[in-house]
Chains A and B, each alone.
Chain A
């Protein structure tokens, strides 16, 4: 479809979309009557990881591909490690390796969720969507709610310290290697991380209460804000419990019925396919059995809390049950409920980290499992903070990667974010004479609920069609250059 506006439409551009990771823009076209004709989230940055890691050795993948992101590199690090585990006969890790990786992952979830809630989302929730942008930012939060801002910073710090202890660095570490990890914890390191656990649990409870209270108090407004029914995809443990490190792919329909559950991660391509649309660098994944029209789905905290049967930590499980009560036990579809679900996960992570830090396996010396090399191909799947993440590598006889496919969490929310943008634009901008900054921020608020990582989501190179058009003030196309897909 031609992405350029018609001559008699008004074009509203929000660029850049702020307080998200990466670079994107929103375009909204209104016709002469002020009706929203089209609204889209465009991802304007351009990466290339799937292409340029070809020809690199497979053991480089966990360290190289994590550079996709600066906020959730641990997800890519571990997902790549899970994929290459299979190349070295490391299907079953030692208890120490498995728990060190889990600790790293839950630590990352904790810091990423804290970052999003306190630094990126809280200004909207605390001050209102249309508050003065001078105050509606993290510095405004620090001035008006200093204790909350302090907690947010210290929670992130704790998560980062967990990552550093397990991966060697707070950002872009090297802890996970094919078949295991390269270090465990010393008793001193473990005790240092354990010391602030009770504070973290308390603050996570308070953050959960803030998100819960906000959602319930504002349900008449936020309940219809960028809101729609959808399918959901998430990993669950074989017994149906929430599990963010490993499990089976489960998709549910808008009523909560299980559409599919695939226990073999290597068969993900039987479940997921991706559609390319010419106006975005981000693909549109869908459930293969349902096709692109019906099979689009959402991922992330809302999907995980909706899709699991239970959470195996007591406080988070209690919170999940109350959350599900919003929809009578079925899936909660409110886009703004992502925040509440995210804070349930924040508390769950604190509970799991507490449990892990009491486990002496973290201090073990058996770090690596390696059997005879059995495969030329490996798929790793885990839940990143923003949703289900897929890493798929094919390797030649010489150990070099010949093909890579990454389906990144934010990509799976592409359809959902676009629908939310469209809906908010229609709700707030149709028929009004003047577009205010607050209205534009409301569109961003809907996007922010998903906590998108636009850097992660635009990892492909050489496959996307590219269209550049020169448009005059009236909207007439003066010149057009197009490159077809696959070039």
Chain B
């Protein structure tokens, strides 16, 4: 049996290795599927659902669905982009995302995704959850208000930093990133050089005292929409550096 498979995304033929996901195959072929929790080089997670596509007519997350010969994948359709818009909007209203004073603004994948999908103001009501800021570490800050539970820090710390600093606690709407139960960042072996800090797509995990050093006009998404960065994934260098 050949280790190559072939399928279509929005009518375009895409080739992939049998072990690859639809997302990985699309990325290699230069087809952009919107995503937030997926990072090349890390195990797929499938939590943000933004990469939802239709595979042979059924909804599926592209980052977790294996590529197989004969699949018909719908990606850039009005129906799917409407769905993604709702998903991203719920991420906004479910946290406390104040872009106007966030140091990640302009470099934030959530914000950039909002712009790409045409979100000007949420239609869903804000939940304004009561979340705290862990600034106990001398050089690192974890702002739970902005966390979208993508687990990129969890996976990067575990798989690339070899530390397992982060994990989840609680369930449902109470779910959040934690160090250890009852512990703060200062109690962990997190370090300012950890690649987990670079993995955060939003302004939740930050190096202290570096905010706003990049001027407006020179930030990642000041001139380019997310998904149109000359074919270079903004976080793929996480893996390259390893």
Contact = CB atoms under 8 A, between A and B. Distances in A.
Contacts of B133: 55-57, 400
Given A67-B100, A168-B217, A172-B100, A59 B135 contact: no
A183 B219 CA distance: 13
B85 to A, nearest CB: 26
A178 B209 contact: yes
Given A55-B133, A57-B141, A168-B217, A182 B100 contact: no
A47 to B, nearest CB: 14
- What 9 A-B pairs come out closest when comparing CB atoms? A168-B216, A64-B101, A398-B135, A183-B215, A182-B215, A174-B212, A59-B211, A168-B215, A177-B212
B224 interface: no
B13 interface: no
A172 B216 CA distance: 11
A63 B135 contact: no
Given A57-B135, A57-B141, A398-B136, A175 B101 contact: no
A79 interface: no
B215 A175 contact: yes
Interface in B61-116: 100-101, 103
A216 B9 CA distance: 76
A55 B144 CA distance: 12
B101 A63 contact: yes
Given A88-B209, A399-B209, A169 B135 contact: no
A182 B208 CA distance: 16
A60 interface: yes
A256 interface: no
A223 interface: no
B127 interface: no
Nearest to A62: B212
Contact of B103 (A60, A67, A88, A173): A60
Contact of A169 (B103, B214, B216): B216
Contacts of A172: 100
A197 B217 CA distance: 25
A168 B217 CA distance: 7
Contact of A182 (B135, B141, B209, B213): B213
Contacts of B212: 59, 62-63, 174, 177, 182
Interface string A156-185: 000000000001110011110110001100
Of the listed residues A62, A169, A178, A399, the one surrounded by the most CB atoms of chain B closer than 10 A to its CB is A399
Contacts of A177: 211-213
Contacts of B101: 56, 60, 63-64, 67
28 contacts: A55-B133, A56-B101, A56-B133, A57-B133, A57-B141, A59-B103, A60-B211, A62-B212, A63-B103, A64-B101, A88-B209, A167-B216, A168-B217, A169-B216, A173-B216, A174-B216, A175-B215, A177-B212, A177-B213, A178-B209, A182-B212, A182-B213, A182-B214, A398-B135, A398-B136, A399-B135, A399-B208, A400-B133
On chain A, which size bracket covers the interface? Answer: 20 to 34
A167 B217 CA distance: 10
Contacts of A173: 216
Of the listed residues B211, B212, B213, B214, the one surrounded by the most CB atoms of chain A closer than 10 A to its CB is B212
Contacts of B217: 168
Contacts of B208: 57, 59, 399
A167 B215 CA distance: 8
A88 B214 CA distance: 18
A26 B120 CA distance: 36
A468 B141 CA distance: 42
A64 B212 CA distance: 11
Nearest to B206: A57
B126 to A, nearest CB: 15
A59 B104 CA distance: 13
A168 B215 CA distance: 6
A57 B215 contact: no
Given A63-B103, A174-B215, A177-B213, 11 more contacts: A57-B133, A57-B135, A59-B209, A60-B101, A63-B101, A88-B209, A167-B216, A174-B212, A175-B215, A182-B215, A399-B141
A177 B214 CA distance: 10
A388 B227 CA distance: 46
A57 B141 CA distance: 9
Contacts of B215: 168, 174-175, 182-183
A169 B195 CA distance: 31
A182 B215 CA distance: 6
A182 B101 CA distance: 16
A56 B141 CA distance: 11
Of the listed residues A56, A62, A63, A398, the one surrounded by the most CB atoms of chain B closer than 10 A to its CB is A398
B3 to A, nearest CB: 50
